[in-house]
Amino acid sequence: MTRQPPVDPRLQDIAGLLQAGRTREAEIACRALLAARPADAAALNLLGVALRHSDRLDESEVALRRAVEYSGGNPDFRSNLAQLLRARGRHEAAMAEFRRALEAAPRLRQARLGLARTALEAGQPALAEREARTLTAADARDREAWSALGSALYAQSRPEQAAAALRRAVALDPDYAVARENLAIVLGVLDKSEEALAELAQCERLGRGGPALEMARARALMQLDRYGESEAALEGVLAQAPDDRDAHFLLAQLRHIRGDPDFTRSLRAAAERAGAPAATRALYGDLLRRTGKVADAEAVLRGLIASVGPQPQLLSSLATVLQESARYAESVPLARAAWEAQPDDASFAENLVANLVAAGDAMAALPIVERFHASAPADQRWITYRADIARQSGEALFSEWCDVGRLVGVYELEPPSGYRTIAEFHEELIPALESRHRHAAHPLDQSLRGGTQTSRGLLADPDPVIQRYLAQLAQPIAAYQAGIGRDAAHPMLSRNVAPARPVGCWSVRLKRGGFHVNHIHPEGWISSAYYVSVPAEVSDLDAQSGWIKFAEPRYPMPGGTPLRTVQPQAGRLVLFPSYLWHGTNPILGDEPRLTVAFDCRPEG
């Protein structure tokens, strides 16, 4: 922590005690000095620091505020006050104090680093990025600044840039355990599972441990299809943190895709034990809903509300359950109550909007959608809902944003160099993909039903055949972008200013009865479906088994019928806006359908 170097030798001694962790002795020495000089700002500052380290935060704040006042606004003392406010969770007040410190001393590193970290905690990653970049520009060897930059980039869904910044922090200090931990998490998101595990091993070497690292390890192992090890890691997390929601969900997910018939057992036991937290019981209710046990989910949630009261999350969850049964007279008031309790919560807002649109009351949802779309214009959800509202109200906007003739592009992929036909290429691609389909059932948090999905994305897959496929995508993506053009007033076309590249890629294998629930891709821009192998039944133009359909919402909506369907054919690539509702008709026979899907975003 930055402090103005004290002149009085006694203050130097106190600073030394703090550095040595002898907090109680430092406090006693400060109080002895203040007994003689009660307005000594430097002594008050050191006392505030000592009290903070002793978790006596109220007393610490009083001392630090007096230090700032008596010193005439010393920026070092003000930065210490800001750190105290940050520790108390008062992020806006902390950022205000950091800014005041920087106004007086623009080069005060700890104040700028503190501002970056606090901004990230306050949900302002763009501000955090700006402050961190100022620090790295001032000192390219500032490991903490690079780490803060990596965290800010990750929070803005820019994992590749985040990984580069965190690698820089680790290169500057190979023993920087926090940066290694964050790098491991980001590498997992990038599907670089082997590298993630290597970083986690380094964290372990440095004495870093705990549930967060074990969760990262479990995810990486799951991506590598090392299911037994992943399950053991998750059980270890729950042994330390019995109500860790992420661990419970991931463990249930893992057991489900492995075909375990009692995949909910750990969460069920945790939710049914005496004194189980409401959040654990609510998660169990949500898991029941996801598995189609809607009546059981409703009973769990109603029992929770009766016992702990109408908490917003419980009301919103119950609204979702009721919406799935089209009981809008009950679901809409619940969703509205949850959102009104926390009007800045995007998930509550989305749930209310979905309920209103499904109930046919689209115009009531319009102000909410416009507000959230204005604050997050790249979030595809709000574009989707705005289009749904326009569809119900008869606005021309719907035909502009959901012009399926213009915005759904169909291409036949050229075979890579060295292959005479796409069928010849598929002879190698199919077994490569099939070998990666090791699940027994679909994930619980995806649109897929009755099929399997690859455990990790394909972008980082080293298999040359898969990399050849990925390389072939550049030409049709460029053709699609050229074909749709640019329009500054259009939510998709306004972003058509740079070449797009895949940011996520995976394979899906539909089995008998398998299909995709109508859905969108909230973080995408261009989404896709590429058909590697298709069953003969797709040739039936009347049944349209396995065909992809567009513009039919997930929920029943007045007038919400599909506007276009596209027939699957091996070698066919379909590109479309990520905000456009899309799903598939079920496969009816025993022959599977194998596809690859990816999302693209414009570079830069």
Domain span at residue 551 reads 405-602
User: Does residue 412 fall inside a structural domain?
Assistant: yes
User: Does residue 6 fall inside a structural domain?
Assistant: no
What whole-number distance in Å separates Cα of residue 316 and Cα of residue 304? 13
User: Does residue 358 fall inside a structural domain?
Assistant: no
Tally the C-alpha atoms within 13 A of residue 58's C-alpha that lie toward its C-beta: 0
What whole-number distance in Å separates Cα of residue 73 and Cα of residue 445? 52
Can you give the pLDDT at residue 248?
Answer: 97
Kindly state the tokens that stand for 14: 């106190």
Residue 293 backbone dihedrals phi, psi, to 5 degrees:
-90, 70
Can you give the pLDDT at residue 1?
Answer: 47
DSSP conformational letter for 402: T
User: Does residue 131 fall inside a structural domain?
Assistant: no
What whole-number distance in Å separates Cα of residue 432 and Cα of residue 467? 11
What whole-number distance in Å separates Cα of residue 444 and Cα of residue 595? 19
Nearest to 286 by CA among 310, 257, 253: 253
Can you give the pLDDT at residue 32?
Answer: 87
H/E element holding 411?
A: strand 409-412
User: Does residue 538 fall inside a structural domain?
Assistant: yes
DSSP conformational letter for 474: H
**Three-class secondary structure of residue 472 per DSSP:** coil
CATH number of the domain where residue 560 is located: 2.60.120.620
What whole-number distance in Å separates Cα of residue 204 and Cα of residue 104? 41
Query: How many folded domains does the chain comprise?
Result: 1
Q: Which residues contact 203 (CB under 8 A, 6 or more apart)?
A: 177, 180, 181, 184, 209, 213
What whole-number distance in Å separates Cα of residue 101 and Cα of residue 88? 19
582 bridge partner residues: 519, 550
Can you give the pLDDT at residue 434?
Answer: 96
Residue 452 backbone dihedrals phi, psi, to 5 degrees:
-135, 160
Can you give the pLDDT at residue 559?
Answer: 85
Distance from the Cα of residue 183 to its chain's centroid: 16
For 558-569, b/e burial (b = at least 16 CB within 10 A) is eebebbbebbbe
H/E element holding 532?
A: strand 526-533
CA torsion through residues 233, 237, 243, 245, sign: negative
Nearest to 554 by CA among 333, 384, 371, 301: 384
Residue tagged 């980001």 (tokens): 186
**Three-class secondary structure of residue 510 per DSSP:** strand
**Three-class secondary structure of residue 492 per DSSP:** coil
Q: Which residues contact 25 (CB under 8 A, 6 or more apart)?
A: 17
User: Does residue 50 fall inside a structural domain?
Assistant: no
Q: Which residues contact 242 (CB under 8 A, 6 or more apart)?
A: 270
Contact yes or no for 477/500 (Cβ under 8 A):
yes
Q: Which residues contact 353 (CB under 8 A, 6 or more apart)?
A: 365, 368, 369, 385
Residues of the chain where predicted confidence (pLDDT) is lower than 70: 1-7, 604
CB atoms within 10 A of CB 419: 16
User: Does residue 235 fall inside a structural domain?
Assistant: no
User: Does residue 73 fall inside a structural domain?
Assistant: no
What whole-number distance in Å separates Cα of residue 312 and Cα of residue 347? 11
